[in-house]
Amino acid sequence: MLAVARRAVGGALSRVRQLTLERDPVLLLGRMGRWRWPWLVVGLALTAAVFLQLSIFAGAFEDTATARGMIGDDISQSVFPIDPAQPATFVLLVLTSLPFLLAALPAVVLVHGQSWRRVLSWGAGFQWRQFFRTAGALLALGIVGAGAGYIVEPQQYQFPARSTFFLFWALLALGVVFVQSFGEEVLFRGYLVRWVGAVLPFRIPVTAAVIAVFVAGHLGNEDVRRDIALNILYFVVVEAISYALLFRTQNLAASAGLHWMNNVMALMAPSLPGQPTALAVMIYTDPVYAAGGSRLLDVFTHTAGGIGLAALLTLLLWRRSPFYIEKAPVPVPAIVPAIANAGGKPGAAASEAR
């Protein structure tokens, strides 16, 4: 038993060392078109400029809508600033999401000389089947978890009464949250990882740096701040799983499905202080947080979290699971230089590979 454990630990450490120090074959696929350091710097600068301009436009809309009483003064402090009582907030969330969705596309086309579709995958186009499978897996686990929680402590759950028009607003919210979550996917996993990774093709350092930037951008969220150490811990773990799916599929779809469903559940089944309740169909009030405590050292919280993460990985990686995510073929190292030398023409690389 001890020998088996040693081999497992040794294998894991060897894999980590490989992903940290050796050039990653998936990231090397990004070496198409204009990918080298000077182009990356120009691309990042253009992306930042476009992001800033789109953000200024969104801010101007918010200021105007607030001045006219279309949006409340405190709406920008919400994790998801959408409220059916203030229809303009749906427009605001779309506008504040556009910098993430669109900022990198001019750089991809004008600076790197690639199709904007390159942000969606390293190979085939966006795989909607993978998107819906990961979203479905997380939804299934959420329903099971909520059901189990209700059996144990039904007094902590509320089910608000909703009007006839709630379904309309809920469906609209699903679309708006998709724009919000998909925008972040495009900027961080679609652009930064792909083009920074082309220059520095080392998987763990690159993904760790992008995760750090992404998590830092969420530290101001009220729900994250409430139990910040615990939330950062699980935030990073979920991000690691999302990046594992990205490299497994070489496609943005699987991680985007997880991201979207996670945000939908936070919107419609809030369970943390600070999460919005305007569109909630179920609200869980955590007794520990209600008393001002923390769950960082709570054994039950980590046990439940570990079981949930293990169940999610099982649903996604078990071949017989209806939510199984197929692994894309590992790039052949000999083909990677051919792609780069072919000037980013997949046809030329394919001919050389054959």
Domains of the chain, residue spans: 25-353
Spatial CB neighbours of 213, under 8 Å, sequence gap ≥ 6: 188, 192
pLDDT in tens, 130-166: 999 999 999 999 999 999 999 999 999 999 999 889 9
Q: Quote the CA–CA distance of 318 and 307 in Å, as a whole number.
A: 16
Q: At what angle do helices 203-216 and 228-249 cross, to 10 degrees?
A: 140
Task: State the pLDDT confidence band at 274, using cuts at 50, 70 and 90.
Answer: confident
157: three-class secondary structure by DSSP: strand
Question: Quick one: which of 50, 191, 49 has its CA closest to 112?
Answer: 191
**347 alpha-carbon distance from chain centroid:** 31
Contact 245, 258 (CB under 8 A): yes
CA dist 16 and 3 (Å) reads 20
What pLDDT score was predicted for residue 345?
46
Q: Tell me the pLDDT tens digit for each residue of 164-177.
A: 899 999 999 999 99
pTM to 2 decimal places: 0.90
How many Å apart are CA 226 and CA 272, to the nearest integer?
Answer: 8
Q: Give me the pLDDT at residue 2, please.
A: 64
3-state secondary structure of 304: helix
pLDDT digit string (tens) for 3-59?
A: 655 666 676 778 888 888 899 999 999 999 999 999 999 999 999 999 999 999 999
Handedness of CA 178, 179, 185, 188 (dihedral sign): negative
Cβ contact 75:81 at 8 Å: yes
Q: Are 108 and 30 in contact (CB under 8 A)?
A: no
Cα angle value 91/80/177 (rounded, 5°): 65
CB 260 within 8 A of CB 181: yes
Whole-number Å distance between alpha carbons of 18 and 180: 34
**CB-based contacts of 167-174 (< 8 A; 24+ apart in sequence):** 169/84, 169/279, 170/268, 170/279, 170/281, 172/90, 173/82, 173/90, 173/264, 173/267, 173/268, 173/279, 174/264
Contact indicator for 226, 5 with CB cutoff of 8 Å: no
